[in-house]
A and B are shown apart, each in its own frame.
Chain A
């Protein structure tokens, strides 16, 4: 039996901000500003917190639009989009996963909106005394990595490769939040996640920065999808993510922005 684990664990967060739309109250002509309808955003698991906040703020400014967010590993989301999942926008955690969608001719203007860096996450207080990447080669340490097919796993492979470390992970998680959860629960001694994940789980997780490590960075891009059912609102959301307010929120979450 195959169950949609991520859907159960993370869930689809619906921000129902409808109802306060000004019906006929504004004089704006249709096509300018008066957005409505629903949009579905497929976003990388590492964007869970920032995109939830951004979608909330977008919804306040565009009360006619209902934003539904679906988070997961970028690779799985891309596979879903290629298989015809009804999404209006795709926010990927790496250029490779975005390329899978744009090569299929489904992406309209993919644009980089933030950059993220890997970091080592350890349970609070660092009980196993992890000091750096070298510990990832220690079989006595419990290590979680992302599966190589998802962006955080690809980045982890790059970083470990560049550092000449032959890591011995105990589990390969299907997205970065699953790896982070294993650290939060104290089930592993360390995991390679993004620095934004360490910040998001501040209370239960300590982090070791890897910003200087070669290959530690990933470019995040967002695109409207060519078969979006609500292209106007989708374009507005993509623009909003590149705008000052969303960029500030991303910066606060630990992303590098221009």
Chain B
């Protein structure tokens, strides 16, 4: 046990000491700490004179807790069915699993580590102090209980994931059984809402509120127990508090029993999930995406084998096309395209039904471009810079930059056409406006891609993705503001017959700026350094 305590204490101590070398993180932690202290001070000084005021329906908060917990529960179950969540890290596997320390103690260590991370993760709840107080009249007791609910859901969710993994790993029948049970449970909740909706003739919102605040909901494992605990604290019901905690304890005991009983060797079971978690974390740190373990196996067909085209720098583009074809049969069309097309279609339908003004169409364009920004920030060129080949290929830097960015420039064009084709059809918008919207969307994609090149050129190997996002977003706002302004002015000045031209100044500016950025930063490959990330 000494080793485990030493490990926990030393890791914590070293993590604190490492902040000395990371001033940015230190400032961030200090900021978070001050915000929490500020919120607590606010809570104390704001007093409780608000009691009796007209607060929001408490059930809304219950719906939020239940909804978030159900979502987390689903992700944990899913994780258990694929790789199993993990309480451990790779160093634990390499150093602790092989050491002469009892596996039960190691499991306890894993649980404590996860608990620590959950405590940190749950800090965001304290940001909501002012919100919770103003809207629901809650005090410290309720806020602390919310925090406890979050920690309970995360820790026991992790345990459940491991339990499910051990139970179903390599056994399709059991996997199907777990899936069926989960789907039935979720369908049951949905059916309850539909039943209340039909039976009492209330709206869908009210039906959902009634279901989540019913006593039956409190018995749904983990998510329901969390809401029961919270309501117990709010209503000062010791019975509800003890019952929910008892249910959590029972689940924990069963899971630990599964993990440690008989011949069950959880080392082997958590090994795969630990490796997967490690790879995913590494990839996330480096801004890469990793192929999901247990995902669809890619079969290379004879007729699809080979890059087929390209010479010199253009080979990079054809290679990207091949890679995209391997990921999606329709090359440029993927889940993101589908998401935006369906979203635009649904919005178009709603806008038409509610007869909302044409100005709302620009909101859709803005939103689509905004979402695209976060997707395109990790373009193909960025991926290419993590391998040495692009630096070694004997071609000029600008040719390589353009070739490696080509698919990132083409995808927004295809997406834009599809999104606004559907939108024009469903909303009944002027087709010409749709064409210019698609062009504006594609031009936004081009400028985002060019910005990643500028970012690479200026900041080079800046591993922090948050810094990258803020840097690009700041620059983006700065450079696009005038063109957006001109487009807004055009909206007021142009006659109705020429209203479709409103986005043209913005599009034109984006294209010009993209060309300028490519020309200015074309020497990126010659100037950048390869770091492998």
A associates with B: no
